Structure 1
């Protein structure tokens, strides 16, 4: 496997260098610079794997030097945009390509519509085209029209249709078009390649359809920042992308911040910015650049995802861009319409965008871009995410949220707190991340916290800024990480930086295959930093884990109305949403549970005041949890104002049950959310059932003589209020839930007594503010409830609530 990867890296370096030279000789300075840089990175990676290619480091330095020279040249001249006539030709050709694909896959009705649109576009173009092109357009239109007529006859035939002639595959005009998409050569549908096993998604344990309540949740949270984003369906891959005129998003241009507005020159499409626009030339983290949009965490997320694709040869984010070719690769669409699949509010959703991008007066894009000006996947991914978030005037985020939206990977937040070794196990964290990173199990970014400008300048860092983690190594006793600033410039100035002459030794450079001479040629924002320095200057590590690690996963979508339960759940969690998770493990296994709160308004995102958590109770005998600390939680943590909350557990062999309780610090609003479980062993996830069909409540008070205290005071206890529950049925399996809510200053409780039979039950220990009793297998009859405070003379109001599995009456006795 190592030798195979080494050969691949060496071949990548040669191939990229060849393309660089070709573009250099053709006079394409910007593209050549891009490929020289990528060739240098590939060869450095090959060196890290032990490549013995002669003069490798000298060659790398030459490539980097040439890339910088060409970059300076390309920045002085504007790219030649395509002519309007060429743009029309591209759209017509794309329409024909889409029609042919529908034709060969048996989608006759769709094919007819696109053939007709192509005919109209070609005839319109032929009116103003020069004679040679006019004839080609007319020939193409004629063939498309003939094929549409054949399909119409087939559709209209009452009997089984005869075998149709093949769709045309030799459309003329290729010599005029700029690299037209190759037409299909057969009516037999070409299956897309099956991805390798490592790419297969885990199969959900859940097989049943969504409930009506879940559908209502997903529908309610489809509208985000005033726009609808429907769940992505398999059929959406056949979205119409071909149009005779440039597609324009009906929801308009995205809002810009005041700073961006001042910089704006125009909105432009790719064919107005580059002579030969492409979706992807080469997926690389080095080419991704952040500008004046405050989305460093999103750009860093794209960088680590691109690094994953480049390193492991597996699609991760490029496969969420549509339209795609038969290999599942995104393609440039001259008609200007794209669809991005993002994981939002519990499910994958489709985001439709057009290809108009904001351009600054400097000629650069205002949003993120690839260093290769002809490549646009970076800009389109960012535009889709910015559309969901309300515009390019984005308030900022973190990489857990961004990578979860891009990939659906499982987010873990690791606060760096060296002063708390219980909370932050420094050595264990590094060892785990180093091991899992190199296996492709996780993606990592790091973020700084607040710091003074003087400290930031001295360190070469940016405060509250996200950085992509591109490598983790141990060499010569040093624990080191390679980071990338999304700005593509401004690098770390401390230990093991490119300017550090004290720590870098020839031996260390050899072990890391790092050439300080090459690194000092220019600042591309990529740097090595030792783990101790990272822990000193950075605030948090964001780790996203591959769901492929878990063969079993399932989820539930739900809502928690604001009116249900107290504002604070310090004393009672009876009204908190609760779920039962049962895991049957034949071997020790990880059990991870992710709570995802749905957000539909950017103001909520920018100033999140909903502090949430997921509290776990293990192997509880009762139906549900009523008191937050009785029994003691198995897993509990700080309430956080992030929409994502992850609980990680390890279960030993055997069967265990977990009660999952959604909690909020202060509940002010209704929240919608998704709970998703990941496990390597089979499990079952259900909502805790509510067996009660009827509920009644009364208000009362302890006052004067009726504040009699508990049964320890027999002289006054009998003067407490008393209520009677009458179960008028002959069943022996009634269920009863009694809840008492009183002043939090007092310890309260109650007794339940059966009038005939003499059974007596107690709510147990007296508690502040809330006490309860749930009983099953009760025979029908009359039961008396006596609510009381622990001590006599403690006056105050109370609410008594009774729920039962069958109809009952509730009345006051005294």
Structure 2
């Protein structure tokens, strides 16, 4: 709470200074900051704030700050006033209504609605036994009511009896709270230090206040986020600790009881879907989740290093998106005034049509967030985000079809039944999955409109329904604004749902280095694309509700677009997949809600639409010809001809517990070498898949499936992504399982370098086999550090381990040059001495076009202990177990060119060993 306390002091000081200087807008802003900080401190259990005698005094002071802010706003917005004339923002955004201009009765009505809703939510929580959260709801509601009363002055006194009832209920609930017994005797747990630390250089905006409650967040010279997290159970520091799981939550219950903030947990959203139940020989749709339990994966431990990774990745393009916490599910986002976030950058098409920004009450008489979840009501407009709107359509269809809250569970605030509801303050939170975990994205309800008052962002065809627009705004805020450059549907769907993304190219493609989109060479099916296999996966995955699907078109000429009715490089939502009457058909939706397919099985194709087929699909061709809503049937063969890529997102509950690792990859210029020569400095992970038991049972022989998903944390989403990353797979024998790999050519499966923050691959372990894998993260021409999250899903339990650098006790680097006289028989010579038996790893780096070879020999025995078998370009290494005494290290240059540079590094697995290395005179080997 320290950061919030200092913020309240700083805000009050700046407000008074600006007020005295006559800067009304600045003073108003800081008064509201000070009030908001005080109220949140009180609501979060700080009993006495320095400078105030009681909680009530803190509330009264906050109300006074709000009243002064409203008074200043009224002065600024008075017609003809100099303040109003100078308020350019007010002139530019006429749709923003200040609280002072609202009718008193409207404010009272809004306050009454908040009281009723708070009471309902608290009663529901109390009935479920969640007393602590019910208390939190009442405290937030009371703080807001007191602020409104003070702002209304004498007119607000009539609210007193109603607020007193809330206070009575709050006191009653507090008596039911169990005593934690964690307060130190003889001291008030919330007392603040008497000294006043220096204020932060840049205080957060109102939109960041809630983030500040969970830690002092802001930019600093080190680039890290000093977020204060509660105590955790921390695993012992060991090479095998990463990713280990437990049947419990992995959280120290006693520590959490004393923490002001619940800890971050890893796993899917609290309202995730359950896996489909299956019966041999029969496909069965997913069963409904229990009304009392949330089907969530058990959480895994976070190491201190992983927590730091997630903290740093919270800061994206100047905004802070903290990990979603359990308390966020019940946060009502109440505040005494309208919430205003920074306006998003618009796309060029929007700028041409923009007339202003309007809030939800200005767009509809009785706005609602969700009227009915329906894929057919979602419509894309002027923002080039077809991939995202198609994803919304797929999610909406899933929610309506299976009655699962796949989308609505991500929009807040919510009522006691989990339904998203209108927030009078205009603030909404959307839970999105990016940079490793679920994160909280706050937005206001201002939406761009044209001169006719129509929305120029994605919206629902129901004029009073706004879930589409609010979720889109949160998504685009993370990506930098409405000037979104486009993405890939499976990646957008992953951000919406956390379901495993898989992009499958249909055609042969060539990715051009430095560009984000593939160039289609032909409409020939890609060699790796098995049409029969993918049809089966697509059909069964859709039927079972375990897969969300979309498809994107290939490059088309203008004439082809006109004839076919397709839009080039455009994403379409797949709404249905059917195999009927001998045809394989898919129901697609253009997110524009117009422009549809004109080829086979289009509405005008009377030849193929037989009466039998129309009955089977319940399709009225006559009606479809009259109404173009962008929805159409297309056959599988045509889709494979004109669509370049299929986008799948798979339910993670299809697998056992995923193994997760959040990690940093630091950058050291001295170690920056192309991975094709050396993998010494790459992150590496090991796991073992044992499929022997499955093959032992009669009829149980089947491949074990392993899916790997790597994500790179993106901190500047609008910058061109020039980081080309790949994931290489090594299959290792039992003797070297879990050991670091160095040579790229030993890879079982070479990854393809792409400039996407997401990589996906699948591995199959045949029945009766036990395989040891090493995953290596690689990047071409790396110039900066990065953070990543690796998820490994398997149909059986596995353990993912970060491969440590066993030879981390290193001496070097030693720079040298091969003798001028050159010659393959004139190596560099070094004297290596150790004082005890130890295993050493010697690494030699040379120019990339020069072959290098290492040899180690014991001086006394005069024979070769070991040597690298072949000359390798640019890099070679040698691992040997050597005894105490003197040894010779020989570094050979295949070309025999004198003067070439070389770098030698020697590492040991023993921290107590003494290693010395010194050059020896060059001697020719005869």
Specify the TM-score bucket, using the shorter chain as the normaliser: 0.7 to 0.9
Cα deviation for residue 243 of structure 1 reads 2.9
* Shift in CA distance, 316/113, structure 1 to aligned 2, threshold 3 Å: closer
Pick closer, same or farther for the CA change 1:422–1:153 going to 2, 3 Å. closer
The alignment partner of 1:641 has SS state of coil
* Contact 2:322/2:439 (<8 A) preserved: yes
Distance in 1 separating the partners of 2:324 and 2:499? 17
Deviations 1:234-261 (A, max 9, x none): 1222334223332223xx1112133312
**Per the alignment, do residues 535 and 123 of structure 1 end up closer, same or farther by CA in structure 2, a change over 3 Å counting?**
same
Secondary structure of 2:662's counterpart equals: strand
2:696 maps to 1:696: no
1:111-126 pair list within 5 angstroms:
111-121=138-148
Match of 1:92 in 2: 111
Q: 1:787 to 1:515 in 2, by over 3 A?
A: same
Distance 1:603 1:430 in 2: 36
Whether the aligned pair in 2 keeps the contact of 1:437 and 1:472 (CA below 8 Å) is yes
Residue aligning to 2:705: 590
- Find 1:245's aligned residue among 333, 337, 349: 337
The answer to whether the aligner puts 1:602 opposite 2:717 as a matched pair is yes
Deviates more, 1:616-625 or 1:89-98: 89-98
Distance apart, 1:489 and its partner CA: 0.5
> How far, CA to CA, are the matches of 1:651 and 1:480 in structure 2?
33
Q: Secondary structure at the match of 2:800?
A: strand
Question: Quick check: 325-334 or 227-236, which moved more?
Answer: 325-334
Equivalent-residue separation in structure 2 for 1:298 and 1:399 (angstroms): 6
On the 8 A contact 2:140/2:334 being kept in 1, the answer is no
| Structure 1 residues 157 and 596, CA gap change in structure 2 (3 angstroms) | closer
Provide the rounded CA distance (Å) in 1 between the counterparts of 2:169 and 2:796. 55
**Alpha-carbon displacement from aligned partner over 1:500-541 (angstroms, at most 9, x marks no partner):** 233222222122221101111210000011111111111111
Distance (Å, rounded) in 2 between the aligned partners of 1:661 and 1:97: 56
Measured in 2, the distance between the counterparts of 1:273 and 1:646 equals 42
Residue 578 (structure 1) aligns with:
684
Q: Does 1:786 align with 2:890?
A: yes
Shift of 1:319: 0.3
Is 1:258 matched up with 2:352?
Answer: no
Secondary structure of 1:216's partner?
helix
Distance 1:143-1:489 versus aligned 2 partners, 3 A rule: same
Shift of 1:548: 1.0
Q: 2:300 aligns with which of 204, 207, 212?
A: 207
Q: Which residue of 2 aligns with 1:314?
A: 404
Within a 5 Å distance, the mapping from 1:505-544 to structure 2 comes to: 505-544=610-649
Residue among 616, 624, 636 paired with 2:729: 616
> How far 1:262 sits from its partner (Å)?
2.5
* Equivalent residue for 2:485, pick from 384, 395, 404: 395
Structure 2 counterparts to residues 308-387 of structure 1, below 5 A: 308-387=398-477
Q: How far 1:404 sits from its partner (Å)?
A: 0.7
Q: Residue 916 of structure 2 aligns with which residue?
A: 809
Pair 1:268 & 2:362 matched:
no
1:201/1:548 contact within 8 Å kept: no
SS at structure 2 position matched to 1:231? coil
Shift of 1:403: 0.6
Shift of 1:490: 0.7
The residue aligned with 1:230 is: 322
Contact map agreement 1:346 1:557 (CA 8 A) in 2: yes
**For 1:723, which of 821, 830, 841 is the aligned residue?**
830
Q: How many residues align?
A: 673
Post-superposition CA distance 1:368-399 (Å, at most 9, x none): 11100111111110011111111111111111
Paired residue for 2:163, among 125, 137, 144?
144
How far, CA to CA, are the matches of 1:267 and 1:292 in structure 2?
15
TM-fit CA distance, 1:699: 1.6
Look up the SS of the partner of 2:417 in the other structure. coil
Matched position secondary structure for 2:839 = strand
Aligned with residue 737 of structure 1, among 826, 838, 841: 841
> What do the CA deviations read for 1:469-495 (whole angstroms, capped 9, x no partner)?
001112222221111000101111111
Residues 721 and 786 in structure 1, CA contact (< 8 A), matched pair in contact too: yes
What secondary structure is seen at the aligned counterpart in 1 of 2:718?
helix
**Structure 1 Cα separation of the partners of residues 410 and 163 of structure 2:** 31
Q: 2:850 aligns with which of 743, 746, 755?
A: 746
Query: Which residue of structure 2 aligns with residue 651 of structure 1?
Result: 765
Match of 1:472 in 2: 577
CA distance in 2, matches of 1:743, 1:150: 76
Q: Deviations over 1:138-171 (max 9, x none)?
A: 66541322442674699799999xxxxxxxxxxx
Aligned partners of 1:224 and 1:601 also within 8 Å: yes
Q: Distance in 2 between matches of 1:201 and 1:769?
A: 52
Structure 2 distance, partners of 1:530, 1:302, is 23
Match of 1:668 in 2: 783
TM-score, normalising length from structure 2? 0.69
1:302 to 385, 389, 392: 392
User: Which stretches in structure 1 are left out of the alignment for 5+ residues?
Assistant: 1-81, 129-136, 161-191, 710-716
Q: Secondary structure, in 3 states, of the residue corresponding to 1:583?
A: strand
SS of the counterpart of 2:744? coil
Measure, in 1, the Cα distance between the counterparts of 2:713 and 2:864.
47
Q: 1:89 to 1:481 in 2, by over 3 A?
A: farther
RMSD: 2.8
> Residue 325 of structure 1 aligns to a residue in which SS?
coil
Say which of 753, 756, 760 aligns to 1:642: 756
Q: Secondary structure at the match of 2:370?
A: coil
Quick one: distance in 1 between partners of 2:602 and 2:621?
Answer: 9
By how many angstroms is 1:689 displaced? Answer: 1.6
- CA separation in 2, counterparts of 1:701 and 1:509? 80
Larger RCO (CA within 8 A; separation ≥ 6): 1
What whole-Å deviation, never above 9, does each CA across 1:99-145 have from its counterpart, x for those lacking one? 424475355465245225325536866967xxxxxxxx866541322
Distance, in Å, in 1 between the alignment partners of 2:376 and 2:109 is 30
In structure 2, the CA distance between the partners of 1:595 and 1:287, relative to structure 1 (3 Å rule), is same
Cα distance in 2 for partners of 1:435, 1:158 equals 49
The alignment partner of 1:552 has SS state of: coil
Contact 2:550/2:573, CA 8 A, preserved across alignment: yes
